[in-house]
């Protein structure tokens, strides 16, 4: 009996985690808490289908609207002195439900014609998107994150920009001429960081990268929930012809950023930890500082729709270089 009880507990625990990843909007015939179900869509909103029963299973780190509203209403919008720097102005709704304002282009720098986009301070729900049934365990749990303002490059760093700033191609670059407007690839993590420092920036944290990619959206892709939107916004395996493409070839996202989830993948500054979301700080979080394995974000011309999701995470040894891995910088 003890063994059966342990197995049942493990099954229910796993179902709770997976249920959070498979949440869907309920229909007219949805049932309430304690009701029988087969999938999340059988239950009323904010409930999950666990062990064929509708239950409450929202991650405790993500506030419900009822929890967030009283605190927001209690904060005077005009009381700038009492507001934490980087926190959003109170609105009576969960901060991550607000559509973030569109970023504006900063002045073009002199280093290779780099264009920096200003991303406003704000908050969002990081991790598995509400209607995403493709999420992996390392994207769980979804959690509320607040970020300070920062600037990010409009595009992935190009071959031409890299050569101008660094004086040569990456150490592992292929021989022969490379189109200057293609994203630079075959860069190891160290080289990506060195370029960013050379132009007055750094590699983004995971939280900054996802916030910029979402640009206020809560959908699985930066362009929406349907895979049909990818063709207009990303180079992925459905249209990429197994090669990288010049930057700005697809539509920009809400912040005016190109290729965040396609063309080539992008290094971040954070070391990888599959459990980091379980105890991540809520304000300006950073991944582990040390580690040989680093987080790579975004899809590429070699990846399918699952890799184009804004919450998708990859772990790459920082000494690896690939034809489909590049980077962009923040400051």
Q: Which of 60-64, 164-168, 249-253, 275-279 has the weakest average pLDDT? A: 60-64
Q: What are the residues whose beta carbons fall under 8 Å from the beta carbon of 143, sequence distance 6 or more?
A: 59, 61, 62, 125, 126, 127, 277, 280, 282
List all residues 6 or more positions away from 50 whose beta carbon is below 8 Å from its beta carbon: 12, 15, 16, 19, 57
Given a cut of 80, whether residue 25 has pLDDT beyond it is no
Tell me which of 31-45, 181-195, 268-282, 302-316 is least confident. 31-45
Task: Identify the weakest region by mean pLDDT among 7-21, 221-235, 258-272, 274-288.
Answer: 7-21
Residue 28 has pLDDT above 90, yes or no: no
Residues above pLDDT 70, as percent of the chain: 66
17-26, 168-177, 293-302: which has the highest mean pLDDT?
A: 293-302
Beta bridge partners of 126: 143
* CB-count exposure of residue 206 (10 Å: 0-12, 13-18, 19+): buried
Cα 11–Cα 12–Cα 14 angle in degrees, nearest 5: 65
**Secondary-structure class of domain 104-326 per CATH:** alpha beta
Alpha carbons 14 and 233: distance in angstroms, whole number: 34
How far is the first Cα of the chain from the last one, in angstroms, to the nearest whole number?
A: 58
Contact 118, 97 (CB under 8 A): no
Query: How sure is the predictor about 114, in pLDDT bands with cuts at 50, 70 and 90?
Result: very high
What is the arithmetic mean of pLDDT over 221-226?
92
Q: Say how many C-beta atoms besides its own lie within 10 A of residue 233's C-beta.
A: 21
| Confidence band for 93, pLDDT divided at 50, 70 and 90 | very low
Residue 327: per-residue pLDDT: 98
Q: Which two tokens stand for residue 303?
A: 């990846």
**Three-state DSSP state, 201:** coil
**Is the model more confident about 94 or about 322?**
322
pLDDT value for 36:
67
- Comparing C-alpha atoms, which of 201, 200, 207, 168 is closest to residue 186? 168
- Give SS3 for 10: helix
- Predicted pLDDT at 162: 96
Tell which wins on pLDDT, 58 or 155: 155
Q: What is the pLDDT of residue 89?
A: 27
Instruction: Provide the pLDDT for residue 86.
Output: 30
The answer to whether residue 20 scores a pLDDT higher than 50 is: no
* Residues 120 and 39: beta-carbon distance below 8 Å: no
| pLDDT beyond 50 at 200 | yes
Q: Where are the domains of the chain?
A: 2-55, 104-326
Q: Is 185:324 a contact under the CB 8 Å cutoff?
A: yes
**Has residue 128 got a pLDDT over 50?**
yes
Quote the Cα angle for 253-170-269, to 5°: 50
> Residues 322, 186: contact at Cβ < 8 Å?
yes
Average pLDDT, whole number, for the chain?
A: 77
Q: Beta 143-147 vs 104-108: how paired, if at all?
A: unpaired
pLDDT at 211: 98
C-beta separation of 287 from 270 below 8 A: yes
* pLDDT over 50 at 94, yes or no: no
Check whether 310 has a pLDDT greater than 90.
Answer: yes
């Amino acid at each position: 009996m003890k063994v059966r009880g342990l197995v049942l507990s493990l099954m229910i625990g796993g179902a709770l985690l997976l249920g959070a990843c498979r949440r869907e909007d309920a229909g007219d015939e949805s049932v309430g808490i304690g009701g029988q179900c087969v999938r999340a869509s059988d239950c009323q909103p904010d409930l999950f289908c666990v062990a064929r029963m509708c239950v409450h299973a929202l991650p405790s780190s993500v506030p419900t609207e009822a929890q967030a509203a009283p605190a927001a209403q209690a904060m005077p919008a005009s009381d700038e002195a009492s507001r934490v720097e980087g926190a959003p102005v109170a609105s009576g709704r969960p901060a991550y439900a607000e559509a973030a304002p569109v970023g504006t282009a900063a002045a073009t720098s002199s280093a290779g014609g780099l264009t920096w986009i200003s991303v406003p301070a704000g908050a969002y729900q990081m991790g598995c998107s509400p209607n995403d049934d493709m999420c992996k365990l390392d994207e769980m749990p979804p959690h509320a994150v607040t970020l300070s303002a920062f600037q990010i490059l409009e595009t992935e760093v190009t071959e031409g920009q890299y050569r101008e700033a660094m004086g040569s191609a990456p150490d592992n670059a292929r021989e022969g001429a490379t189109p200057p407007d293609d994203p630079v690839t075959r860069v190891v993590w160290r080289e990506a960081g060195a370029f960013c420092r050379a132009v007055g920036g750094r590699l983004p944290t995971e939280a900054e990268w996802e916030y910029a990619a979402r640009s206020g959206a809560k959908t699985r892709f930066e362009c929406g929930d349907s895979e049909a939107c990818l063709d207009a916004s990303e180079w992925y395996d459905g249209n990429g012809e197994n090669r990288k493409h010049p930057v700005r070839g697809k539509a920009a996202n809400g912040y005016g950023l190109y290729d965040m989830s396609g063309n080539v993948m992008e290094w971040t500054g954070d070391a990888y930890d599959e459990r980091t979301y379980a105890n991540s700080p809520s304000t300006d979080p950073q991944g582990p500082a040390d580690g040989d394995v680093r987080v790579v974000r975004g899809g590429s011309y070699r990846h399918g729709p699952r890799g184009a999701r804004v919450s998708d995470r990859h772990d790459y040894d920082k000494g690896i270089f690939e034809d489909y891995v590049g980077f962009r910088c923040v400051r």
